[in-house]
Structure 1
Amino acid sequence: MFGVVLWSDQVRNRAVIWCEDHGDLAFFNGDGSAGIENAEMEPGDLVQFDVRADRNMRLASKPRLVSSDEYPTLARDLKQAGKLPEAAATADAASSKIVAFEPKLAKPAPATGKVRRVI
């Protein structure tokens, strides 16, 4: 699965990841599995990881960095979207606010000069 790191704790080697399927968040607890160290995972990084359900939560393992700082404002944008006025909280789903999930910039492909999108 792919996801974006929303929060990370480098001391405890943990992270919270927003998943591409927009389901529950995934938690990485630095379980020592193969993959990048959390010190390399920063908020905004696009990562690929294995996910499994454990009780009432999703657990991420074997995280692999796809693109560093790909979505640098996503955590802030989600926080802002959560601060809806009281009236909006009672509105139906048709009037819900949608948070854009777009990368900061397209990146040129190596040696071809063509623009490619990483995902």
Structure 2
Amino acid sequence: MSQTMYGVVLWADHKDQKAVIWCEDHGDLALYHDAEASVHDGVSLDEGDLIEFDLKQEENLRLAQNPRRLAQNHYPGLAQALRHADASRNTGPTVPNETGNVIPFRGRTPAYPTGPLRAIHAS
């Protein structure tokens, strides 16, 4: 079973007709490979291209089929930005959260009590 998906090409090899695609659902990357096409046949994908394709799941791989370019070089630095975003995620130690599910923004004073809750007795 396949579904239509949008994505951005993160890496492409024209000679081997291969590409790695970041999918709109932010799930696993999709792989494109057209073994039967030559360099002069089919679609030519480049890094940063916005594409629409049919996504097919085969075992543990997501395969892109029938790619259609919607915009060339639409996101030119996306692969580099994703690399830097991953590296900057772990910028230092995190403060333990003692307030339950509420996560305070860094550098802001929370508008709620941060210590242990105490019982309030009605008079």
TM-score range, shorter chain: 0.5 to 0.7
**Count of matched residue pairs:** 91
TM-score (norm. length: structure 1): 0.66
Runs of 5+ consecutive residues of structure 1 not aligned to the other structure? 96-119
User: CA offset at residue 69 of structure 1?
Assistant: 0.5
Counterpart Cα distance in 1 of 2:84 and 2:60: 26
SS, match of residue 53 in structure 2: strand
Gaps of 5+ in 2: 98-102, 105-123
1:25 is the counterpart of 2:29: yes
The 1:88/1:58 distance shift into structure 2, 3 A limit, reads farther
Query: 4+ runs of 1 displaced by more than 6 Å?
Result: none
Report the structure number with the largest CA radius of gyration: 2
Q: Are the aligned partners of 1:47 and 1:66 in contact in 2 as well (CA < 8 Å)?
A: yes
String of CA shifts for 1:60-99, please: whole Å, max 9, x gaps.
000001000111111110010111336369x99x69xxxx
Aligned AA for 1:54?
A: E
1:69 aligns with 2:73: yes
Q: Percent identity?
A: 40
- The answer on 1:50 being equivalent to 2:51 is no
TM-score by length of 2: 0.64
Q: Compared with structure 1, are the counterparts of its residues 88 and 21 closer, same or farther at alpha carbon in structure 2 (3 Å cutoff)? A: farther
AA aligned to 1:6 is L
For 1:43 and 1:61, the matched residues in 2 are separated by 17
Greater helix percent: which structure? Answer: 1
- Distance verdict in 2 for CA 1:41–1:88, change over 3 Å: farther
RMSD of aligned Cα (Å): 2.8
